[in-house]
Chains A and B, each alone.
Chain A
Amino acid sequence: LAKTTQPISMDSYEGQEVNITCSHNNIATNDYITWYQQFPSQGPRFIIQGYKTKVTNEVASLFIPADRKSSTLSLPRVSLSDTAVYYCLVVGGYQKVTFGTGTKLQVIP
């Protein structure tokens, strides 16, 4: 079971780049790293996934070092609408996976 650890909260000003790091020390060889965004009263929304190195899509970038024991979600030039809770989740095969409490990002005008 790959347990994840993230900061509980972060503040950022509009227009800044935000980096949220997640540690997953016991990630298995076949596991993938996924990240989600959740707004109040909604289900989490999948943002990005990665296995190693760097992945970029229209929403975010994901950086994964060679040992894969951590990952960093990077949100470029955040706006007020990026205020949400962000979760890191390691997924793999049939194993039970558990969400942590996530990182509450507050974007300040």
Chain B
Amino acid sequence: DVKVTQSSRYLVKRTGEKVFLECVQDMDHENMFWYRQDPGLGLRLIYFSYDVKMKEKGDIPEGYSVSREKKERFSLILESASTNQTSMYLCASSPYLSRTGGNRNYGYTFGSGTRLTVV
């Protein structure tokens, strides 16, 4: 019954490495998001995408990039990992909220998270 899958639960990388975090959803959602979560700071939005090949910067995009080549897959890329990017990374998806609304569930579905440690 898993609907949003993140490729790794735990990851340890070295400073300067290029890191790829993969996220796949099977709900045909238009929107996908990447957040990081740190103690006391809540969830902070890194990037989001509302369509294939579309991306928008969130609140903290510096040091990150994203790729969305297919509707179901949204990748987060750390170009050169640094120790301050040690964090829990959470991927989410949601349907596009049309103007007509309706009875559709517009809530976000999250993956289980990837705990990344950069050493």
Contact = CB atoms under 8 A, between A and B. Distances in A.
Contacts of B112: 42-43
Interface in B78-114: 88, 90, 92, 94, 96-97, 99, 101, 105-113
B50 A102 contact: no
Interface in A36-54: 36, 41-46, 49, 51
**Residues of B in contact with A, size category:** 20 to 34
Contacts of B58: 96, 98
A93 B97 contact: yes
A49 B43 contact: no
Contacts of B74: none
A91 interface: yes
A43 B113 contact: yes
B97 A36 contact: no
A100 interface: yes
Given A41-B113, A43-B111, A44-B110, A102 B99 contact: no
